[in-house]
């Protein structure tokens, strides 16, 4: 789990000609048919019903990448590392959003576009409304971890799920205060984790 204090976020300047705009459910359904964006049919179907928010980034009017944010609880199937795992639900308190998908197409990588999308999302949600953004990464996904760390996200917790004889065994962190990124005993106002059913 990586945490970002939105009030201290200082984005890098993206390349000239980069612009962001919100994506709607119809956009996500169309993009799910393009393999490069890696949008599953499940994500496309959940986009509207679960209240996801999509942000596209365009360079010279060409879609260069996108990010999808969750505004409420993040379903476990978005936080699993392999198909046979159940995953972990992430429960978000008010004022917290979760970045559940971020893709920049290969020709546009290395241009600080993810940072521009996060800045746009913070402005889109409202600086006074959102105080934290969280995201998760598979331990082996070094490129994504490097990207979020480079944007100012901080590692704040680690979940582990092992599948033994067809049963999942979880190790979950304590709740995390969404204002400080520190472990907390106050479950009601913290980011918390729950084993998938």
Q: What is the pLDDT along the chain (197 residues), one digit of tens a residue?
A: 999 999 888 777 777 889 999 999 999 999 999 999 999 999 999 999 999 999 999 999 999 999 999 998 999 888 877 777 788 899 999 999 999 999 999 999 988 899 999 999 999 999 889 999 999 988 888 989 999 998 999 999 998 888 788 788 888 889 999 999 999 888 778 999 988 86
Distance CA 80, CA 74 (A): 11
Q: What's the predicted TM-score (pTM) here?
A: 0.91
Distance CA 135, CA 113 (A): 17
Q: Is residue 162 part of a domain?
A: no
Domain encompassing residue 32? 2-156
Domains contained in the chain, number: 1
Q: Is residue 179 part of a domain?
A: no
CATH assignment of the domain containing 17: 3.40.630.30
Distance CA 134, CA 176 (A): 10
Alpha helices in the chain (DSSP H): 25-31, 41-49, 113-125, 142-150
Which residue reads 């984790």 in tokens? 193
Q: Tokens standing for 30?
A: 């169309």
Q: Is residue 176 part of a domain?
A: no
């Amino acid at each position: 789990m990586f945490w970002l204090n939105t009030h201290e976020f200082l984005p890098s300047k993206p390349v000239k000609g980069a612009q962001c705009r919100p994506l709607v459910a119809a956009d996500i359904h169309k993009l799910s048919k393009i393999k490069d964006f890696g949008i599953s049919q499940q994500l496309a179907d959940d986009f509207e019903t679960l209240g996801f928010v999509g942000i596209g980034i365009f360079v010279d009017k060409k879609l260069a990448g996108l990010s999808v944010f969750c505004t409420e609880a993040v379903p476990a199937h978005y936080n699993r590392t392999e198909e046979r795992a159940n995953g972990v639900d992430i429960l978000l308190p008010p004022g917290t959003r979760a970045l559940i998908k971020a893709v920049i197409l290969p020709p546009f990588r290395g241009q600080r576009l993810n940072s521009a999308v996060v800045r746009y999302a913070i402005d889109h949600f409202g600086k006074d409304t959102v105080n934290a953004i969280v995201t998760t990464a598979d331990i082996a996904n070094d490129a994504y971890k490097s990207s979020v760390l480079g944007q100012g996200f901080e590692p704040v917790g680690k979940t582990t799920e092992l599948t033994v004889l067809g049963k999942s065994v979880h190790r979950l962190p304590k709740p995390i205060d969404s204002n400080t990124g520190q472990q907390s005993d106050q479950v009601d106002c913290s980011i918390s984790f729950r084993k998938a059913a």
